[in-house]
Amino acid sequence: MHRITLTVNGRRRTAEVEDRTLLVELLREGLRLTGAHIGCDTAQCGACTVLLDGHAVKSCSVLAVQADGRRVTTVEGLAKGKRLHPVQAALKAEHGLQCGFCTPGLVLGLVDLLVEQPDPTTEQVRAALDGHLCRCTGYQHIVDAALTAAKALRETGAREGPEPALRELG
Amino acid sequence: MYTAPFTYHAPTTLRAAVRLLRAHPGEARPLAGGMSLVPAMRLRLAQPEYLVDLGHIAELAGIEAVDGGIAIGAMTAHRDVERSRLLARRLPLLAHVAGTVGDRQVRNRGTLGGSLAHADPAADLPAAVLALEGVLHTAGAGRARRIPAHRFFLDPYTTALGESELLTRVVFPAQPRRTGWGYEKLENHASRFAVVGVAALVNVGRGGECTRVRIAVTGAGPVAYRARAAERALAGRPLTAQAIARAARAAGRGVEFLADAHGSAAYREHLVAVLSERALRAAIARTGVSL
């Protein structure tokens, strides 16, 4: 067993974990943050994607003990009260989800992309979606949402400075 | 699914890591980015009793210019190779190939050394490291070794590394001025591994002849390899369409082609020729020479 301390969605959390506990299990079962989903069990589907020190990772392939001392952002950490994060708002507005299973991972994947590339091309968005399997939408509406979110983030960024969630990550 | 139980160690020095591996021969595995090992452990294809995480050993990460070339620490993530300005200038083939590995999340976490030491026969990076004539530096119980890339990959998932020997860095010689490069792969759309991938580096002389060429192939056979017959077919010759096509056809000579759900042996043989020609043409175009 290891006693680890990590910052999850801005809050310091301490947990006892087994050597083999995966980060996604710590988040879902230990911390009751069930936004990170377990889909494929083999690191392909991307439903478990979270940010680790600001970078999108598949939390089913990271050990919980490896997150000791580090910063984790899950989908629960993005909205400000009732105000959705621009990526979430854009997915809703553009019908970028149906069943929603892949959505939380996808949101974090897109946040990771937009921190690095605030004005991505359609091709860059599609390439960034490689690690996210969606069986409902056919992706087109997700791509639309990503471009809408990018525009919204650039506009708020120009008006109010970078989105706090992005500032923290960047 | 849960992995089998194991004991996790996170040493902060190379010496401590080697000591841990030596203490548990056959039972301990080094953990790099974990993008292959952790899923394999979840499927119980791997059940090490000890995991030695190399992620806390500072000297294993980073990219630097060294005397006569570039050194990249084994624990450098694909994303850092992909985005390095130094590599974009000095080893653009390597930066490009790192950007074709897996997906964004995998590149954020997977490492150069992890990919090479895992030696998946369909991995992209072995082709780039072979073509660029990288030298793999190791540390272990005995003396540190320097293994040229062409002696490193022995069999699928099998390398020249000893049981408690770690890959520490890969050192690449400086490339001649105006080296053109190309990497062409047909990828498995689910995993992004190469069904076949071909890396090519070409230098062109004043008379339009090929002064130097290096070609490396992954995904075709049990291990990635340098296509020496193809290189010999092109080196010193004028870069005509015929000469390129002839070299490309020689790139699969002597290979024991893999056959699996992603392609028959005959299909892979065909891909090696087609992708070699495309990689050579891309490399030649990047030297500024038009065919």
Alpha helices in chain B (DSSP H): 14-23, 37-42, 78-83, 85-90, 92-98, 104-109, 112-118, 125-131, 228-234, 241-250, 265-286
At A163 the pLDDT is 57
At A43 the pLDDT is 84
Beta-bridge partner residues of B201: B181, B214
Neighboring chain B residues of A48 at a CB cutoff of 8 Å: none
CA-based nearest residue to B127, from B215, B207, B51:
B215
pLDDT digits (tens, 9 = 90+) for B224-252: 999 999 999 999 999 999 999 999 999 99
Question: How far apart (Å, rounded) are the C-alpha atoms in residues B33 and A66?
Answer: 11
CA distances from B262 to A103, A130, B120, B150 (A): 29, 19, 15, 26
Q: Quick one: DSSP state of residue B74?
A: T
**Contact check, Cβ <8 Å, A2/B39:** no
**Contact check, Cβ <8 Å, A62/B34:** yes
Other Cβ atoms within 10 Å of B151 Cβ, number:
11
pLDDT digits (tens, 9 = 90+) for B202-230: 999 999 999 999 999 999 999 999 999 99
pLDDT for A168 beyond 90: no
Residue pairs spanning A and B at CB distance below 8 A = 77
pLDDT for A170 beyond 50: no
Residue B185, Ramachandran bin (φ over 0: left; ψ between -120 and 50: alpha; else beta): beta
Question: How far apart (Å, rounded) are the C-alpha atoms in residues B20 and B111?
Answer: 21
Other Cβ atoms within 10 Å of A76 Cβ, number:
17
What CA dihedral angle connects A81, A86, A88 and A91, to 10 degrees?
150
* Structure-model confidence comparison of residues A37 and A159, the more confident one: A37
pLDDT digits (tens, 9 = 90+) for B110-137: 999 999 999 999 999 999 999 999 999 9
What pTM does this model have? 0.95
CA-based nearest residue to B220, from B148, B182, B275:
B275
Q: Are B31 and B39 in contact (CB under 8 A)?
A: no
Tokens of B237: 């010759």
pLDDT for A167 beyond 60: no
Residue whose structure tokens are 């890969």: B170
Interface residues of chain B, partner chain A, Cβ below 8 Å: 1-8, 10, 34-35, 38-39, 42-43, 51, 53, 55, 79, 102-106, 108-109, 190-192
Q: What does pLDDT average to over chain B?
A: 96
pLDDT digits (tens, 9 = 90+) for A29-82: 999 999 999 999 788 899 999 999 999 999 999 999 999 999 999 999 999 999
**Contact check, Cβ <8 Å, A112/B104:** yes
Q: Are A119 and A126 in contact (CB under 8 A)?
A: no
Interface residues of chain A, partner chain B, Cβ below 8 Å: 2, 18-20, 22, 41-44, 46, 49, 52, 55-58, 60-63, 65-66, 109, 112-113, 127-128, 130-131
Over residues A140-166, the mean pLDDT reads 83
What contacts B228, CB < 8 A, 6 or more positions away?
none
**Contact check, Cβ <8 Å, B108/A57:** yes
CA distances from B22 to A14, B17, B29, B30, B165 (A): 33, 9, 11, 11, 9
At A156 the pLDDT is 85
Pairing of strands A11-17, A2-8: antiparallel
Spatial strand order in the sheet of A11-17: A11-17, A2-8, A71-73, A49-52, A55-58
At B68 the pLDDT is 86
**Contact check, Cβ <8 Å, A63/B108:** no
Mean pLDDT by 10 residues, chain B (291 residues): 94 97 96 96 96 97 95 98 97 98 97 98 98 97 93 97 96 95 94 95 94 98 98 96 97 96 96 98 93 75
Other Cβ atoms within 10 Å of B26 Cβ, number:
9
Neighboring chain A residues of B47 at a CB cutoff of 8 Å: none
Tokens of B270: 């065909």
Question: How far apart (Å, rounded) are the C-alpha atoms in residues B217 and B289?
Answer: 24
Pairing of strands A71-73, A2-8: parallel
Which amino acid makes up residue B54?
Answer: L
Neighboring chain B residues of A41 at a CB cutoff of 8 Å: 1, 42
Over residues A118-135, the mean pLDDT reads 96
Neighboring chain A residues of B27 at a CB cutoff of 8 Å: none
Closest residue of B to A41, CA-based?
Answer: B1
Question: How far apart (Å, rounded) are the C-alpha atoms in residues B107 and B85?
Answer: 17
Question: How far apart (Å, rounded) are the C-alpha atoms in residues A116 and A112?
Answer: 7
Task: Provide the sign of the torsion angle of the four alpha carbons A110, A114, A117, A120, taken in this order.
Answer: positive
Question: How far apart (Å, rounded) are the C-alpha atoms in residues A3 and A31?
Answer: 14
CA distances from B154 to B117, B128, B151, B231 (A): 11, 17, 7, 21
At A161 the pLDDT is 60
Neighboring chain B residues of A127 at a CB cutoff of 8 Å: 104
